[in-house]
């Protein structure tokens, strides 16, 4: 089973025969005991600490189709090492571009992303509404925005509706979350604990989608809801919309309401709030556990992990753009 | 101009949808542990053979082991469940060799895990059938729409299973 490796400590990653070797280095530059990581067990690497590496490492990682995601000191995603595509399909690429270029085809896909995202958000709100958290107002608001979707004629207006839906949804966070206040959604930099958490876990979700896209024939830069090339690999942003309520938000509610995270896990300043290393580790552990959780899939009739759901979403998109079958986005059915 | 390769012949007998998807660049084989196992069996069985025998590529089709002295094509497979598809794949190799002037080649299908070997020959009738198969394959892959799922029991062990059967 391949897994993600999260690197927090500074050190040097190198190739040692057909294994990865990580040598920690402390502040004075003293080398610690090296750790060996069999390359077959690596799905991808997340670099939070500072890593020394040379080109032979990246050549090796590239051959093994391992992605590396980088983050700066403030936990911002700064980019990925994205090895050369190994699943090239000219026909899929052309069909994907065609679905972007033809306004009706693009709108059809963009609409499905927004609808599925909203459906999954409502699912969360209703869950809490049934458990005594009064989110009825937000549910109604989102439902009325949903009714506007069929009248949206451009992707821009659709994005506007999506923004309104998300704003109403975030309003409910203060009702759902017990101890912490979120207030307005602030991103750069996040102003409080909840905002810091949302930013951090959203980023994990984005990299997950990117990883899954990489292992399919889809091109990560051609997107439908988000404008292609607008920041990062925008197809990953499209797919993340569908999964954020299910993967990201539920995780945040549970981490905070079960008090797995506390004040001490955050680094607070006048201007910003960030997760401390202890906090990041807790979040990542919970995130990994979530991704490996399985559900019985209705159409496949077998258990699949949450992580695999994202890959399946990519398959459905490939089928849609190749005219095999219309895309039915993932909507949490339980 | 792209060739009809032995993979097409193999998939033609197993599933036309898979044949169409494969030709349209939708490859899934890297996802499957079974495919990986099959490849490993091919690599680790008969290891002494690699020097004596030659890997050749003919009209886009790769023959893993061809013994030019005895004129034998060897094809290693995991299990004989898809035997018809395997047989025609080997017949196709023999036919390709014949078309490039190498006559009287025979094939051996090998299932090392099951300790079974089967001889394959190409008759004149087979050649005519292959001509028809190639025509059929061209029709299928040039078809605009993807053929439907076949809903067979063996779909479950196919590397395209998730792709084909994921709906929502």
Query: HEC states along A302-329?
Result: CEEEHHHHHHHHHHHHHHHHCCCCCCCC
Mean pLDDT of B21-26: 93
Residue A120's pLDDT is 97
Residues 29-88 of B with CB under 8 A from A: 30-31
In chain A, residues 295-314 whose CB comes closer than 8 Å to chain B = 297-300, 308, 311-312
Task: Give the phi and the psi of residue A5 in degrees, each rounded to 5.
Answer: -115, 130
Residue B62 belongs to domain spanning? 6-166
pLDDT bin (cut points 50, 70, 90) of residue B123 is very high
Q: How far apart are the first and last CA of chain A?
A: 27
Number of domains in chain B: 1
Does residue B140 fall inside a structural domain? yes
Whether residue B145 is contained in a domain is answered as yes
- The answer on pLDDT for A198 being more than 90 is yes
B1 has a chain A CB within 8 A of its CB: no
Which residue of A315, A317, A318, A320 is the best one to mutate when testing the B interface, meaning the one whose CB has the most B CBs within 10 A? A315
Global ipTM = 0.86
**Is pLDDT above 60 for A235?**
yes
**How many Cβ atoms sit within 10 Å of the Cβ of residue A115?**
19
pLDDT value of residue A181: 85
Summarize the confidence of residues A279-297 as an average pLDDT: 95
Residue B152 within any structural domain of the chain:
yes
Any B CB within 8 A of A330 CB: yes
Question: What is A204-234 written as a DSSP string?
Answer: HHHHHHHHHHHTSS--TT--SSSPTTSSS-H
Range among A80-89, A227-236, B158-167 rated most confident? B158-167
Sequence ranges of the domains in chain A: 3-81, 90-322
Q: Which percentage of chain A shows pLDDT scores above 70?
A: 99
CATH number of the domain bearing residue B85: 3.90.320.10
Calculate how close chain B gets to A242, using CA atoms only, in Å. Answer: 12
Note the Cα A170 to chain centre separation in Å: 17
Fold of A90-322: 1.20.120
Predicted confidence (pLDDT) at residue B99 exceeds the cutoff of 90: yes
CATH number of A3-81: 3.100.10.20
B82 in Cβ contact with B117 (< 8 Å): no
Across the interface, whether the CB atoms of A299 and B145 are under 8 A apart is answered no
Has residue B1 been placed in a domain? no
Mean pLDDT of A209-225: 93
Determine whether the annotation assigns residue A76 to a binding site: no
Residue A299: list chain B partners with CB under 8 A. 165-168
**The CA-based dihedral angle spanning residues A113, A117, A123, A124, taken in that order and rounded to the nearest 10 degrees:** 160
**Do the domain assignments include residue B49?**
yes
Size of interface A-B (CB pairs under 8 A): 58
Residue that is written with structure tokens 């007998």 in the block: B13
Confidence tier at B5 by pLDDT (50, 70, 90): very high
Judged by average pLDDT, the poorest of A223-232, A280-289, A305-314 is: A223-232
pLDDT in tens, A165-179: 999 999 999 999 998
């Amino acid at each position: 089973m391949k897994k993600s490796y999260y690197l927090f400590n500074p050190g040097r990653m190198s190739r040692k025969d057909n294994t990865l070797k990580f040598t920690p280095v402390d502040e004075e530059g003293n080398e610690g005991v090296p750790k060996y990581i069999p390359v077959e067990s690596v799905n991808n690497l997340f670099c939070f600490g500072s890593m020394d590496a040379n080109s032979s490492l990246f050549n090796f990682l590239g051959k093994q189709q391992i992605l590396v995601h980088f983050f700066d000191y403030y936990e911002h995603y700064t980019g990925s090492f994205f090895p050369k595509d190994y699943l090239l399909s000219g026909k899929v690429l052309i069909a994907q571009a065609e679905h972007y270029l033809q306004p009706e085809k693009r709108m059809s896909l963009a609409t499905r992303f927004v609808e599925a995202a909203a459906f999954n958000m409502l699912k969360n709100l209703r869950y809490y509404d049934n458990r005594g958290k009064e989110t009825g107002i937000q549910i109604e608001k989102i439902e009325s925005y949903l009714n506007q979707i069929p009248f949206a004629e451009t992707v821009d207006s659709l994005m506007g509706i999506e923004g309104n839906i998300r704003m109403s949804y975030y309003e409910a966070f203060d009702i759902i979350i017990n101890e912490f206040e979120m207030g307005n959604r602030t991103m750069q930099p996040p102003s409080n604990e909840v905002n810091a958490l949302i930013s951090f876990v959203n980023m994990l979700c984005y990299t997950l989608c990117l990883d899954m896209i990489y292992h399919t024939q889809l091109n990560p830069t051609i997107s439908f809801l988000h404008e292609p090339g607008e920041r990062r690999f925008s197809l990953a942003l499209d797919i993340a919309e569908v999964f954020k309520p299910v993967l990201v938000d539920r995780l945040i509610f549970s981490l905070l309401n079960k008090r797995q995270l506390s004040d001490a896990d955050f680094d607070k300043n006048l201007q910003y709030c960030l997760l401390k290393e202890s906090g990041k580790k807790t979040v990542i552990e919970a995130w990994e556990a979530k991704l490996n959780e399985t559900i019985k899939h209705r159409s496949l009739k077998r258990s699949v992990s949450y992580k695999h759901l994202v890959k399946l979403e990519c398959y459905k998109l490939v089928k849609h753009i190749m005219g095999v079958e219309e895309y039915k986005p993932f909507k949490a059915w339980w | 101009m792209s060739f009809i390769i032995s993979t097409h012949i193999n998939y033609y007998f197993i599933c036309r949808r898979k044949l169409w998807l494969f030709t349209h660049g939708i490859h899934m084989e890297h996802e499957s542990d079974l495919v990986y196992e099959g490849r490993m069996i091919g690599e680790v069985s008969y290891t002494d053979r690699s020097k004596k025998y030659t890997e050749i590529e003919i009209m886009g089709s790769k023959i893993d082991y061809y013994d030019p002295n005895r004129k034998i094509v060897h094809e290693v497979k995991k299990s004989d469940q898809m035997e018809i598809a395997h047989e025609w794949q080997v017949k196709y190799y023999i036919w390709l060799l014949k078309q490039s002037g190498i006559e009287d080649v025979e094939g051996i299908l090998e299932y090392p895990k099951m300790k079974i070997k089967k001889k394959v020959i190409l008759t004149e009738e087979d050649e005519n059938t292959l001509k028809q198969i190639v025509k059929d394959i061209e029709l299928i892959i040039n078809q605009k729409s993807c053929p439907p799922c076949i809903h067979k029991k063996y779909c479950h062990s196919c590397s395209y299973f998730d792709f084909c059967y994921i709906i929502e």
